[in-house]
Structure 1
């Protein structure tokens, strides 16, 4: 990436709204330098588009009229140096650190008029974005329940302890629980913000963001100093989805920003997962709808998440099964005979054979085997269940 292109991207990062499809698509088609120089020379993107081949300008017309007004305030060299002094770096496509998963955003249909590959990312923290390979996004409700916060924290801690990167948005509720879980495990975590990486939003998460900035990475498409807006949250959701192999939604109402992130994950062919909650909880209705419509895979633990997003054949889990009881090892005919043996009073071989629906000789052979296994015992002239078999049956019924 040339210095001119990098500086042009710095300027466009300050001029354009994060995720503005019109501008970003034009940058990808024409190049950042061409777009920026056109702005400087003509005062608007409309003029830049004049004479361009058909199709190049699709969806981009008129995007720069309002941008040109702010041209005079941008000094890209100065902005880049100020960021460097603050410990913030600007990573652009083509850099060794660029997370190539974000390239999948190219040509994707817009969602809420946001999309496309960003012109660059502002990053604070020691974690390099090209090292974020086994990453999972954990997102969900800001007003999370105790249950949701606990689940998100456990997921973050489990994934972090295995060296997986936890990506989230540092918001209240599920986001912060997932970040804290990863940090507690000493694992890497990335916070993607809708404001500048030098700002704490929410303010009460200032300490958390500083900790992430010390151990992981704080990332934003918006330049340093930028304030958070509702639209910028929608734009940053595509970055959360694009940086991760899969997205887990833990608690989300039917109208939730985390479902926007899940939508982007699905568009990018990432794995979408959901943690179920109580069927009576409004905060889980959005998650349940993901699962019900098969848009999301049901997961309940970090191990299940790793199995879902890991490489083929890796992190496979054994199918959970209940412990085998004494009856489970028996041949079916012996089970028939055991079912016909009474609990308290002894019964004769003839009575048991009739109850089992088999011949007397076969019943006698089965009774001998059951006695040797300790499942029945003699009672007078007949047979009854042993105390051990009776207790095992009661335990299985309670389970």
Structure 2
């Protein structure tokens, strides 16, 4: 893959100041004209709606003002001063799965951190959810973050309060990799209360943004940021979300892109579970831990452990002994021939099994009759399991 040239890089950096994230008109023009020609068209000419179809004259006026004010050299120097870089389509570090967004593909990505974004994105899972999550939600998100990191998966989220922050912290605590996709510039810690966390992610993981250095988040930018989270990852897990939630926007975007969508169930009485449960009633897959997530999105052989309830003492009996035991009445006693008839065995076979069951503490003998013991002996069951 050939890296973008300097003119292309400068033009794309400038265009991140012209267009809002996900602007499909801008994306279509970019494909038609190329970054250099488009920037020149916006900054130096009087091109109107006929030349740039899909935008009103008023909207084009706003684009022109932004294009003329852009100083990409300054932005590139600012991100380089933070140890970061600007990654363009065509660069070796560009994650090709972002191309699935079509005209809404990012113009470029401002990246801060030492690792390779493309390599990390090949094995990445998004963990998103409510900002005002419950302790249960925070616990589940942190467990997913640490469990996925321990399995070699990159945990991607949005660095917000609640589920996002818990997922990032879980991955960091496990010494794993995590990516925060921001709705601001990579030099802005937002929310301010997560300044320390975002600093740790910059050191141990990656910060990614479509917006140039210094830009601030807005409500629409948070929503549009979610499509990048969905596209960068193999699947999205939602932990606690109301019906109207940005996390569900991420999940629906993941579905449209053909990615896996998963949800962690919660109490049916909780409004924070309502959005997740709605997702699970559709195409979402129910997951409860990192092993189940990895089994779904991972390669062949990444299987979650088998799930089963506790082993009861009578589960260790062989089939014939189990049938003999079930043939005994719940109350009172029965003779050997009655028990044999109920178990479908000969009388001799039934008596042999009854004496075994007696030694294991399952039954008691009263004269010629047999009855269930008040409480089977655990030690006896353990001996039976070893035979």
Q: Are the structure 2 counterparts of residues 84 and 389 from structure 1 closer, same or farther at C-alpha, using a change threshold of 3 Å?
A: same
In the TM superposition, 1:176-325 aligns within 5 A as 176-293=165-282, 295-311=283-299, 313-325=300-312
Q: Are the structure 2 counterparts of residues 43 and 210 from structure 1 closer, same or farther at C-alpha, using a change threshold of 3 Å?
A: farther
Asked if 1:131 is matched to 2:134, the reply is no
Q: For structure 2, which runs of at least 5 residues remain unmatched after alignment?
A: 380-387
Give the conservation status (yes or no) of the 8 Å contact 1:192–1:220: yes
TM-score (norm 2): 0.89
Give the conservation status (yes or no) of the 8 Å contact 2:339–2:350: no
Asked if 1:380 is matched to 2:380, the reply is no
- Tell me by how many angstroms 1:32 deviates: 1.1
Asked if 1:170 is matched to 2:154, the reply is no
Give the conservation status (yes or no) of the 8 Å contact 1:23–1:60: no
- Tell me by how many angstroms 1:44 deviates: 4.6
How far apart in 2 are the matches of 1:134 and 1:31? 31
> Which residue, out of 325, 334, 341, partners 1:338?
325
How far apart in 2 are the matches of 1:91 and 1:61? 30
Q: Are the structure 2 counterparts of residues 167 and 352 from structure 1 closer, same or farther at C-alpha, using a change threshold of 3 Å?
A: same
Give the conservation status (yes or no) of the 8 Å contact 2:140–2:239: yes
Give the conservation status (yes or no) of the 8 Å contact 1:343–1:390: no
> Which residue, out of 102, 125, 141, partners 1:106?
102
- The number of aligned residues is 371
- Tell me by how many angstroms 1:61 deviates: 6.2
Asked if 1:366 is matched to 2:350, the reply is yes
How far apart in 1 are the matches of 2:294 and 2:378? 39
Cα deviation code 1:33-85 (max 9, x no counterpart)? 12111112324563643xxxxxxx4x456553311022332122232223222
- Tell me by how many angstroms 1:282 deviates: 0.2
In the TM superposition, 1:134-149 aligns within 5 A as 134-149=123-138
Give the conservation status (yes or no) of the 8 Å contact 2:230–2:251: yes
How far apart in 2 are the matches of 1:357 and 1:129? 65
Give the conservation status (yes or no) of the 8 Å contact 1:44–1:68: no
Structure 2 counterpart SS, 1:69? helix
How far apart in 2 are the matches of 1:89 and 1:202? 22
Asked if 1:4 is matched to 2:7, the reply is yes
Alignment correspondent of 1:155: 144
Asked if 1:20 is matched to 2:23, the reply is yes
> Which residue, out of 65, 81, 102, partners 1:69?
65
Structure 2 counterpart SS, 1:196? coil
Instruction: Out of 379-388 and 175-184, give the one that drifted further.
Output: 379-388
Structure 2 counterpart SS, 1:261? helix
Give the conservation status (yes or no) of the 8 Å contact 2:75–2:212: no
Alignment correspondent of 1:80: 76
TM-score (norm 1): 0.86
Q: Are the structure 2 counterparts of residues 357 and 220 from structure 1 closer, same or farther at C-alpha, using a change threshold of 3 Å?
A: closer
Give the conservation status (yes or no) of the 8 Å contact 2:291–2:305: no
Alignment correspondent of 1:39: 42
Give the conservation status (yes or no) of the 8 Å contact 1:188–1:215: yes
Structure 1 stretches of 4+ with a deviation exceeding 6 A read none
Root-mean-square deviation over aligned CA pairs: 2.3
Alignment correspondent of 2:382: none
